Structure 1
Amino acid sequence: MHLTHAHDDTGPGGLSADVTRPDGTRRALRIGLGGPVGSGKTATVAALCRALREQLSLAVVTNDIYTREDAEFLLREAVLPPERIAAVETGACPHTAIRDDISANLEAVEDLEDAVGPLDLILVESGGDNLTATFSKGLVDAQVFVIDVAGGDDIPRKGGPGVTTADLLVVNKTDLAPYVGSDLDRMARDAREQRGDLPVAFTSLTAEDGVAPVVDWVRERLAAWTSVPAA
């Protein structure tokens, strides 16, 4: 099933009401991060891990077509212990493994919960893809879509499922706007027109606490998730 905001089996905050694992324990909240190549998905994942690792039990699944490059970056940065980072080599377009045949990602998620659980949060990072990339609701409970100002300030206006339907749109690298001629006010207006009431966060990961808007959103989603009674 493609990402939508109308879902028959949802709990508070529009999250899936299926919060339990087969053994009856509560499963982790799964948040997917997608977006074009170079938009800053891996850097956002790294920043989230640094901001949340002291308060939450979390893990990461990365997706690359033929390499483990994103996972290796996270390992070099030591954002989490190695056993909490798993890599999936998709062997095809990244959206295939997050939307169509999600079996490899589901296996990675479940293996992490078996190995290092119980977990509060699992971040699933897609490989770089285009504006149509969305996550299956069978894989993640909420989706973040990351774009950056260097890709052009017309991206929000162009739309596409990633921009228009993601639970959170992140406009990254705002510090570069003066150097690439991007108008942040225009991007904010266009994003509102495309997304209505769905939230948009502007981030600069070079700034202290630059990922704070995304951290706040994740905490809100987690609060909604933990309010759903376990079966």
Structure 2
Amino acid sequence: MHLDHEHTVFPQRHTWAGPTARPDGSRRALRIGLGGPVGSGKTATVAALCRALRDELSIAVVTNDIYTREDADFLLRNAVLPPERIAAVETGACPHTAIRDDISANLEAVEELEDTVGPLDLVLVESGGDNLTATFSKGLADAQVFVIDVAGGDDIPRKGGPGVTTADLLVVNKTDLAPYVGSDLGRMARDARRQRGELPVVFTSLVAENGVAPVAEWVRARLAAWAAVPA
């Protein structure tokens, strides 16, 4: 389900995260950060994006967990990418720290992936389970996706928070559960539009065939914009 946004060029919050070229002069990968509350479907969205795009793009993933490799292991079990294209960062603290404050571990993981399996077109950096205040440092992510789900309550878009209001793309996931949890998708759409203005919002159900398509479409648009920036 799409809102009635018919963008061909999506609004952009971030400037690009630092230089577009690697030290050897080659173009570095576009880095897209995915954040959102625990259980919203961030890892499932990453997995679905990898399946949808891996035949056309060179992709790698960096996951963040506080003390485990659980998200990385999920991606490995589901064989969404070869193992060498998935890296795990154990933050040891609040997930916000590793994606917003001290991003060194994530940057090191990204750079190592580019060195070992590059050249890469796209690196997806998934935050650990966080809350509505989570944002990615502009030094780490070129664009940010924020994932919420209908089971968390249809008042989440109205509550706002930096993740909801400023992410380059807001994903409202698990729409198939709306009838069972009493969530009003129309209300969520209206509230999201009030909070975000022209920034895009998509509604997804990853249990549906090609349910990640609107997110994949947005990623392709960002990649096209990235390719147009001089290295």
What TM bracket, shorter-length normalisation? Answer: over 0.9
Secondary structure at the counterpart of residue 31 of structure 1 = strand
- Percent identity for Structure 1 against Structure 2: 87
Displaced runs of 4+ in structure 1, greater than 3 A?
A: none
Quote how far apart the aligned CAs of 1:229 are: 1.3
1:31-42 matches, cutoff 5 A? 31-42=32-43
Work out whether residues 66 and 95 of structure 2, in 8 Å CA contact, stay in contact via their aligned partners in 1.
Answer: yes
Size of the alignment, in residue pairs? 220
Quote how far apart the aligned CAs of 1:55 are: 0.2
Quote how far apart the aligned CAs of 1:22 are: 1.6
1:90-129 matches, cutoff 5 A? 90-129=91-130
CA RMSD in angstroms, aligned pairs only: 1.1
The residue aligned with 2:26 is: 25
| In structure 2, C-alpha distance between the alignment counterparts of 1:19 and 1:212, rounded to whole Å | 27
Work out whether residues 17 and 228 of structure 1, in 8 Å CA contact, stay in contact via their aligned partners in 2.
Answer: no
| In structure 1, C-alpha distance between the alignment counterparts of 2:40 and 2:183, rounded to whole Å | 14
Quote how far apart the aligned CAs of 1:6 are: 6.3
Secondary structure at the counterpart of residue 124 of structure 1 = strand
Work out whether residues 62 and 88 of structure 1, in 8 Å CA contact, stay in contact via their aligned partners in 2.
Answer: yes
1:133-148 matches, cutoff 5 A? 133-148=134-149
**Which sits farther off after the overlay, 207-216 or 19-28?**
19-28
1:42-61 matches, cutoff 5 A? 42-61=43-62
1:1-231 matches, cutoff 5 A? 10=15, 15-16=16-17, 18-230=19-231
Quote how far apart the aligned CAs of 1:17 are: 6.9
When residues 130 and 215 of structure 1 are mapped into structure 2, their CA distance, relative to the original with a 3 A threshold, is: same
| In structure 2, C-alpha distance between the alignment counterparts of 1:140 and 1:17, rounded to whole Å | 9
Quote how far apart the aligned CAs of 1:40 are: 0.1
Match of 2:100, as an amino acid?
R
Quote how far apart the aligned CAs of 1:158 are: 0.1
Secondary structure at the counterpart of residue 21 of structure 1 = coil
Secondary structure at the counterpart of residue 47 of structure 1 = helix
Match of 1:187, as an amino acid?
M
Work out whether residues 157 and 190 of structure 1, in 8 Å CA contact, stay in contact via their aligned partners in 2.
Answer: yes
Secondary structure at the counterpart of residue 30 of structure 1 = strand
Query: Gaps (5+ residues) in structure 2?
Result: 1-11
Quote how far apart the aligned CAs of 1:203 are: 0.2
Secondary structure at the counterpart of residue 210 of structure 2 = coil
Using the size of structure 1 for normalisation, the TM-score is 0.93
| In structure 1, C-alpha distance between the alignment counterparts of 2:109 and 2:41, rounded to whole Å | 22
| In structure 2, C-alpha distance between the alignment counterparts of 1:151 and 1:181, rounded to whole Å | 11
Match of 2:141, as an amino acid?
V
Work out whether residues 18 and 139 of structure 2, in 8 Å CA contact, stay in contact via their aligned partners in 1.
Answer: no
| In structure 1, C-alpha distance between the alignment counterparts of 2:13 and 2:114, rounded to whole Å | 28
